[in-house]
Structure 1
C-alpha cells in the first residue's frame, strides 16, 4: 500500500466503503469489486486501498479472528504479524513478570501491541515505515493514550527507563508492503547484535523465526519455541525479568485451544535407540527445535527409533500433548507393491502419509498406491538401524 492509498482510505468515505464492501475472497471477486467501484466514480487510489484491505481482512482471519474485520493491514505486515492467541500469551508473560510498560520496537501492524494494551500494559509502539506506523496507529486507536504509536527507527526509540520492557520483532524480510522475500539473519533490522545488547540490559522479548541458527542464541537468555495447531510459528528469546530461573530451553505447544509447555535448563540428553515397539510417537516441531526430544521420550517410557530421526517408539500405552502418537498395526517393506497388498487386505481407502529420513515425496508416492477401501489409517515411511520400513499405524 502506498501512502496515497492509505490517505484515501483513512477518510469517512474510505472506511465506510470498506465496511460496506464486505469480504473479498478470491481474485475473481477482486476484479468484480474493482470494476464496480470504479464504475461508481471512486478514485483509483481509494478503490485499490479498499479492495486490497477487504482481501487482506479475509486472509487475516486465521491470525486475528473476528478482530480482523476492524483492522487494517499491509501484506508484508500480515505475514510477519503474531497470531493473536500467541500474542496474548506474550502479554500474559509480561503481566506475570510485573511489567506495566513496554516499548514495541518494530511493531509492524501492531499485533503484539494489541495484546499488550489489551492486558493493561502501557505501550510505546514504533515502526520505521511511515505507512506501517500509520496502520498500527489505526489498529491501536481504541486504546487511546495507553498505546502510543510513532514512526522511528528502533535504535532511536529505546526508552531511557531500564525498567520499561522491550519487545523486538526485527524485520526479517526485504522492505516493502507487498511482495517481499526473507533475508539472512545478518540482514535483520534492527540487527541481532543490537537486539542482544538490549536484552542484556533490561527485560526483553525478541521474536524470531523458529529456524534461527541456534549458535546465534546467547547463553544467558531463555529460548522458547512456539507451535500452534502443529506448526512451529516462532522462537522468542526472553531476558531479564521475562526469563525464568533455571529455564534455557522451552517448547510451548498450543493445540485445540489448550496450552502446554515443556521446559529444561539446557538441551535434553537423548535416549537410547530401541527396536520398534507397539507405538510410534512423533514429537511436536517445537519440541524438536528446542532439542527436548529426550524429555518427551522419558515421559512416554520411549526410545529413539533411529539416532538421527525424530521418531520415538515404545510399548507403553502413553501419549502427551508434546507428541502425536500412533499404535502400530503392521510393519512392511517400504516398497509400493508390499504396501498395496496391505492396503487391500485392511480395506484402506484413506491414507495419511508421514515420512522422515527417506528421500520420498509423499504426493508422488501416494500416486503409486491403490486406495479403494472404506477404512483410514496412517502410513509412516522412515528409516531404522535395520533399514527402511513402512509402518501402518492408527492415531491414538
Structure 2
C-alpha cells in the first residue's frame, strides 16, 4: 500500500466503503469488487486500498479472529504479525514479571502491541516505515493514550524506551526486504534492527525478541531463555527472553497452544534423548516446538518411551499414555513401505480414508497415495519412516490429544 492509497482510505468515505464491503475471500471476488466500485465512480487509489484491505481482513481472521474486521494491514505486515493468541501469552509474561509498560520497537501493523495494550500495559509502539506506523496507529487507536505510536527506527526510539524502568522491550526484527506487498525473506545478517544490536539491548534491558523458529541455535545468547512456540500444530516462532523476562533456571522452553489451551515444558538445557527401542504398541510424534527446543528426552521419559530411531523424532512405547506435547498413535501393524503390501493391509481393514505422514524417507505423500487401493468406510494413519536401515510402513490410529 502506498501513502496515497492510505490517505484515500483514512477518510470517512473510505472507511465507510471498506466496512460496507466486508471480508473478500478470493481473487475472483476481488476482481468483481474492483469493477463494481470503479463503475460507481470511486478513484483508482481508493478502490485499490479498499478492496486490498477487504481481502487482507479475510486472510487476517486466522491470526486475529473477529478483531480483524476492524483492523488495517499491509500484506507484508500481516505475514510477519504474531497471532493474537500467542501475543496474549507474551503480554501475560511481561505483566507477571512486574512491568507496567512495554516498548514495541518494530511494531509492524501493531499485532503484538494490541495484545500488550489489551492486557493493560502502557505501550510505546515504533516502526521505521511511515505507512506501517500509520496503520499501527489506526489499529491501536481504541486504546487512546495508553498506546502511543511513533514513526521512527528502533535505534532512534531506544532512549525514550529505556527512560522508564517500568518498561520492558519487545522486538520483532524485520526478516523481509522493505515494502508492503511483494517482499522476500533475508538472512539473519539483514534483519532490521540488526540482531547484534538487538542482543546488545537485551543484555542491558529485560527484552523479548521474536525470531523465526528455525533460527540458528548456536547464534542465540547463552544467558537468555529460548522459547519455541507452536500454535495448532505449527511451530510459529522462537522468542529470546532476557533479564527479568527470562525465568530463573530456564534456558529451553516449548510452549504448545491448541485452541484456547496451552501447555509448556521447560528445562535448564537441551535434554538427553532416551535410547532406541523396538516399535511398541504406541507411536508418538513430538510437537514441533518440543523438537526445536530439544526436549524430546523429557517427553519420552514422561511416556515411558524410547526413540524409534536415533535420527528421527518419533517415540515408541507400550504404555497406554499420551501427553499434550505429542500426537499419539495406536499401532495396528507394520509392513514394508511398498504400495503392494500397504494396499493389501488397507483392503483387509476396509480403509477408505487415509492420512499419510512421513519422517526420514524421500517420498511424496500425494504421489504415494495414488499408488494405493483405498476402499471402505474406515480411516487410519499411515506413517512412513526409516527405522535403522529399513523403510517401514506403520498403520495406526490417532489417539485424541488430552
Indicate the TM-score class for this superposition, using the shorter chain for normalisation. over 0.9
Q: Distance in 2 between matches of 1:295 and 1:48?
A: 52
Aligned pair count reads 396
Give the 5 Å matches for 1:121-136.
Answer: 121-136=121-136
The aligned counterpart of 2:41 is 41
TM-score (structure 1 length as normaliser): 0.99
Give the 5 Å matches for 1:1-396.
Answer: 1-158=1-158, 159-161=161-163, 163=165, 164-385=167-388, 387-396=390-399
Once the two structures are superposed, residues 308-361 of structure 1 have per-residue CA deviations (whole angstroms, 9 ceiling, x without a partner) of: 100000100010000000010001011110000001111010000010010111
Alpha-carbon distance, 1:374 to partner = 1.0
Gaps (5+ residues) in structure 1? none
Alpha-carbon distance, 1:257 to partner = 1.9
Q: Is the Cα contact below 8 Å between 1:128 and 1:151 reproduced in 2?
A: yes
**Secondary structure of 1:200's aligned partner:** helix
Q: Is the Cα contact below 8 Å between 1:287 and 1:322 reproduced in 2?
A: yes
Q: Distance in 2 between matches of 1:388 and 1:39?
A: 61
Q: Distance in 2 between matches of 1:333 and 1:296?
A: 28
Alpha-carbon distance, 1:386 to partner = 5.3
Once the two structures are superposed, residues 71-121 of structure 1 have per-residue CA deviations (whole angstroms, 9 ceiling, x without a partner) of: 000000000000001010010000100111111000000000001011111
**Secondary structure of 1:69's aligned partner:** helix
Once the two structures are superposed, residues 256-284 of structure 1 have per-residue CA deviations (whole angstroms, 9 ceiling, x without a partner) of: 32100010000011110000000000000
RMSD: 0.8
Q: Distance in 2 between matches of 1:368 and 1:61?
A: 37
Gaps (5+ residues) in structure 2? none
Distance 1:92 1:206, change over 3 A: same
Alpha-carbon distance, 1:160 to partner = 3.3
Alpha-carbon distance, 1:161 to partner = 2.5
Q: Distance in 2 between matches of 1:69 and 1:134?
A: 18
Once the two structures are superposed, residues 101-158 of structure 1 have per-residue CA deviations (whole angstroms, 9 ceiling, x without a partner) of: 1110000000000010111111110000000000000000011111000110101111
Q: Distance in 1 between matches of 2:94 and 2:226?
A: 16
**Secondary structure of 2:163's aligned partner:** coil
Once the two structures are superposed, residues 187-235 of structure 1 have per-residue CA deviations (whole angstroms, 9 ceiling, x without a partner) of: 1000110000010001100001000011111100000000000000000
**Secondary structure of 2:18's aligned partner:** helix
**Structure 1: 4+ residue segments shifted above 3 A:** none
TM-score (structure 2 length as normaliser): 0.98
Q: Distance in 1 between matches of 2:97 and 2:230?
A: 22
